[in-house]
Structure 1
């Protein structure tokens, strides 16, 4: 009996050894997270302030990859005449993702006079349209944050499948890369990006695949300070997204 158990144990260990793959080296460093915290402090400082006269309320940084990154709620948006809350941490996440993957990113820098995820008739959407026309990205990542009470790590908004335009690999690959970083609870179309004039709806109408990422605020850091930020979780989300974008870049 003991011999049979021993043989079974050896067999199972052999199978596991044959199937297991070695982990990849981490790519996100402490310096990356420290920089993200510094960037977010600027967003927080300007979040409720409208841009000074002559200055834009959003910024574009150009890259060379085939992925375009959008953070329309990095600062507080104006919706129906009132300033709403920002998606804390999404600005720094988007900027760091763009820097690490050499991707173009567009994001708000001051309080937006017109919510880019609620209205189409604003300068942000016009700039976004021009970016899509000139750069012709393969994919647009529309980055948002969800309340930390939400049961998921990430909700994928796809307009019930319409925004990914038949490219199921976008969702499955993104899930796989995020799972490698310890994110395991996913949702699809809890926020489908179909209500109002969302960025994802706007991009989809232009013929470009787009996915709205509603990332739980536990991963983005609602406020960047020693009491509330969770640096490891931010690093995990950033690393998963970086690896996904690199995958998209390499598989044209």
Structure 2
């Protein structure tokens, strides 16, 4: 099946019920196991609840995570239904507990947390690394190099989203699980199937990053 067809197929489970996902499903996350010791996380695949308000989904981050799992055989965790828990904001929670179990049981070396930014942001990619403390310098340099090699050159680090809030998946992974981690904010222009040339650059970059960090 063509990548674009796969992406659209995967996205259906998240876009269901106007991006509230499969309402009432428990738990509100799903896990796909692999063999490569990298865990791709997508907590905002659907609408989510933060500070008494519903925030819109980071569209196509879930389908991107599932596609990357298929391409690399990494591990994957993602939100599948609406809950009152924002996994990338609250302290603790069932999503991060499950993520921690995967990391410990499968000797995960890296956690990559995918997010979507508005097309109006000044960057194509913003890498959140707790200002350089969540991932080794040589690895973040490699991540930037791979994006550049695939034609994504407007790559910032800790520009708008540093992932420094203690409730983020990246902070939890780095500080509590003691595993290297990175938050990747992707501009809407680079995760839009209607601009498939740009989306494909994102897919290729992330596939190579996962393989590189996972030692494939």
TM-score, with length taken from structure 2: 0.92
Unaligned runs of 5+ in 1: 1-29
Residues 1-252 of structure 1: matches in 2 within 5 Å?
31-46=2-17, 47-49=19-21, 51-52=23-24, 55-164=26-135, 167-190=136-159, 191-205=161-175, 206-221=177-192, 229-250=194-215
Distance 1:49 1:79, change over 3 A: same
* CA deviation profile, 1:16-56 (whole Å, cap 9, x unmatched): xxxxxxxxxxxxxx711210112113211142256336x32
* CA deviation profile, 1:200-231 (whole Å, cap 9, x unmatched): 1110111001010011111112xx6xxxx211
Aligned partners of 1:187, 1:49: CA distance in 2, in Å? 31
Unaligned runs of 5+ in 2: none
Q: 1:195, CA displacement in angstroms?
A: 2.4
* CA deviation profile, 1:51-81 (whole Å, cap 9, x unmatched): 336x321100000001110001011111123
SS in 2 for 1:234: helix
CA RMSD of aligned residues (A): 1.6
Aligned partners of 1:134, 1:75: CA distance in 2, in Å? 27
Q: 1:86, CA displacement in angstroms?
A: 0.9
Q: Which has the larger radius of gyration?
A: 1
| CA contact 2:170–2:182 (8 Å) conserved in 1 | yes
